[in-house]
Structure 1
Amino acid sequence: MKRSLSFMIVLVCMSTLVSAQQYLYIKKKGEMPAERLSVHDVIKLRTENGDDWIKGRIQAIAKESLTLNDQVFPYQNIEGIRTYNSLVKVTGTAIWGAGVFFSSIAFINRLANGDAPLLRTGQIIFGTSMVAGGALVSWMARSTYRTSKGYYFEVIDLNESYAP
């Protein structure tokens, strides 16, 4: 009995130390949430008057704004958010790297042996297709949510007390 009570007290105390209690849902009207972001997620953000995407780690999520790279961005000024699927991005980078590695091994081997041509047509086609395929897979890993396409932001704050 004492063991289970002390275990429960430890669990309750540990749950109060969790920092990511705020979530930002990216939604489209009438659909399930497209993405759920929390503190420390890496995203790219574009403001309405900005030309470039700003990459950074989410530092804080508030009801009216998002903090990224020590800058506060109000939700009404955000034109779009871009997220990345890390597993797909890593796979694309690995395919791209394999294409470069394969081509460079063949090139160095034929250069060391004094063979001509340094790369055969099949090796060039294979290496180029691996590099292009890896770049395509990495590009497919990103998801872009623009407010102009009907997406909006909803904040869920579990730290907020809901008293009637």
Structure 2
Amino acid sequence: MTTQTLIDPKLEAQFELLIEAIRTIRNLRAEAEVKPGVKVPIILQSESEQERQILESGQSYIQDLAKVEELTVTPNLEAEYKQAFVGVVGTIQVLMPLSGVANVDALRAKLEKKLDKLEGEIASLSNRLGNPGFTNKAPEAVVQGAKDALAEAQKQSEILRDRVERLK
């Protein structure tokens, strides 16, 4: 019997979904600066019945490995969560309400400071790329690096702006 016949692709895909959900929750916890010992409420929203069944069957793993106090798996969100961090795993939306978990005002101030710094970086890169002296004389790799850095900074800025807005 080969090892290929021992691998169950369906089961492997289910575990991958659980692993990605746990990873996303941990990332949200880190971004919100939630202390390691603090358990958080998490809402996992998916319209897929199959995904919800996988998440519900792996509920104990998610709660233990991502330090989740209350886990809700739902086909649709009952309310709009203003003060929450949101992540996505495939077609699953992961929400971590921040009320009672993080100092929302301090977190918002920190994110606004990061956003200001990022916007300064975007302005600097935009000016450099708007300068014909730079774009015509610099090696193509350097110009492309600046374009890539600008695109990355703009994407990060968009994410931060959304997070700041959710904390208001």
Please give the range of the TM-score, normalised by the shorter of the 2 chains. Answer: under 0.3
When the two structures are superposed, what TM-score results if normalisation uses the length of structure 1? 0.27
More strand by share: 1
More helix by share: 2
When the two structures are superposed, what TM-score results if normalisation uses the length of structure 2? 0.27
